[in-house]
Structure 1
Amino acid sequence: MGEQTVGVVGGGILGVAIAREVVRRRPGTEVVVLEKEDRLAAHQTGHNSGVVHAGIYYRPGTLKAELCTRGRLLLREFCAEHAIPYDECGKLVVAVDQAEMGRFDALERTATANGVPGLRRLTAADITEVEPHAAGLAALHSPATAITDYVAVTRAIADEVVAAGGEVRLSSPVVGIRRSGGRVAVDVAGGAPVVVDHLVVAAGLHSDRLAGMAGEEPSPAILPFRGEYLAVSRAKQDLVRGMVYPVPDPRYPFLGVHFTRRVSGELEVGPNAVLATRREGYRRRDVSAADLRDVLTYPGFWHLARAHWRTGIDEVVGSASTRAFMRKASRYVPAIDAGDVVRAGSGVRAQAVDRDGSLVDDFRITQADGVTLVRNAPSPAATSSLAIAAHVADETW
């Protein structure tokens, strides 16, 4: 690769992890990270649940399955090295009725194939030994599932990039990408173009728009889904030791409303999955006409809506009503109900959707003419970030 220049668009955990991988592998390479906000980890990275996944859900043989397993180990080592909180508090995935047992058995086979460490199948009686206030017919216990502080991880990775001679530019929104003379010119609002030999785009909620700027196929498009959280009262936040999840519906990439501890000691319930009316719309009143237009004019949205409108209505009802929200969650921890929670924060998930309405499930990374595009990197992208960065480097150089 020689004395080249590499640009990375995106200041979330994945963007800085890719920059770190470049400076570690190729000392002397000029690396610049361009982040449109005035801080790192401003969006998906800074609004997620903090969970470090162990690989329970992902179809064996996919990038998600491979890179989640490798990424969890790399992340654990990184957190230990940098004294960042990393708590293996464990997770239960609980089946609460007989109709779920077929999906539950399939999930156990998937988790086993992925080598989830310490995985155990629990009976109803066993569940309370792990989580005394949880209830269900059966559960999968993943003791290696952990929680961490992804904002702190992102900052620590960025510090390594800067210490190795790389540059992190905040408040640098990209407004254009041009290929010229074998190089890539990146236009930045209010500043001179940044010219690099190779560009990596890890722009999360705007990955499709950046791909369009680079002249690439606009599909898959990003549909933003807001995930809302409720905070459990201090009086009951110790009723869950780790995490309690439902058995997910394999038709969707979302894991369902669940109980999750934070490294701060707080306990949260969520997230749901409601179509957002703004790509960075963390509040119900946040609306962007341009973002909404992009959703409503994309054929994939209408295919998706026709196939899953009942689920969409159910999610909207849960968003509007705390009682409806908690009606689902309380099935798993009956001692916590609507009177024990208050509205908390929210995040927005960048969900890639193909033109036929198919939800893109696996990580999708493409390359063309000096530009690498991370087109889809939803959960467990934070868990997998260091491994995804190595994968991008392996495929690019």
Structure 2
Amino acid sequence: MILDNNGCVIWDENMPDDLPRQYSLQDVASFSHWYLEDYPVSTWNRDDGLLVVGYEAGSLWKSRITFDADYVAPLFYCCIGIFLANIIIVILLFFHNTRKLEKSIKPILKGIQQLSKGKPVHIDESGKLSEIKAGLNKAGDYLMKKDNTRAVWIRGISHDIRTPLSIILAYASEMEETPTLPEKTRKQAGIILRQSEKLKNLVSDLNLTTKLEYSMQAICKQNIDAVELARQVISGILNDGMSDQHDIEFHEEQPGKAIQLNGDNLLLQRMLGNLIRNSIVHNPSGCTIKFSIGIHDNSCVFVVSDNGHGMSETQLNALNSNEDISSSQNSEDDTEHGLGLKIVSQIVKAHQGSIQFVETIPHGLTVKILLPMK
């Protein structure tokens, strides 16, 4: 409705019949702030009068709030302060909880790293993420139990094989050297002898790799002349009787210069011997083996290379990633690289050294070993 200056209704639309058609100044002052007969209303000034818009009863709630000006500014700043304080509290709680979570996660991450290295794991299961910690402990216990079972099984099998194998070797050697036996029988005895020796070496390799893997092999370190060590290994292989199809070339990068190592003499002999024999065994048609020794960045460098068949890229990547590769036989009855090179890598690791397997150009295998000097 529109009221004129006298308070009379001069226009209306949908106006309830129970509302009066004229209002005093007191009425206008009242319903401007509150209600008009329980109807919430709003007012606007117009050139032709006062426009009053009403709404259904109970549809709006009207309130009049009055503040002392002296309290408005402090109240405003107080609200801002409370708001900022809440934000600061939320941030502090966030960082506090994050730190607690990081503190709980840190031993879990450390435990996972230990498991990846095959080491035992035991984490305090109290606090947050206790279920994950308990699961990690169970996984660690299971893996350690499994590894121990495997190590015990290998040791037991090796021990059980050793006695009958010694008997086979003794009788086969005796039969091969008995002149009264037929030639065919002596040849068969020689084959049995050679295959038994391979089996004996395999048992020895299994025992050694198991001990190295589970840190059960004692490392008896002593001062070693690396050049003399290399010469002894090469002489031993030559004295064992090497095929005329194979040739070993020895080279000193710094002739006459002493290269001293601190390591286990027997293990280092086994390491170098395995490398040379690996080239011989896996290249039965013959190859040239180059053995060099030198010094680089206060490290003793052994390089053994051959111009034989070499290895596939997959096998090279597996060896350089410290992964196991197959040691089975292929269709041509040639054994693949496997356990012998794994033992070499384990011995290098036990002496805090590094090893790299690369392809010899145009074909063959090159193995580079760096061991810290004394």
Interval containing the TM-score (normalised by the shorter chain): under 0.3
More strand by share: 1
Q: Normalization by structure 1: what TM-score?
A: 0.21
Q: Normalization by structure 2: what TM-score?
A: 0.22
Pick 1 or 2: higher relative contact order, CA cutoff 8 A, min separation 6. 1
More helix by share: 2
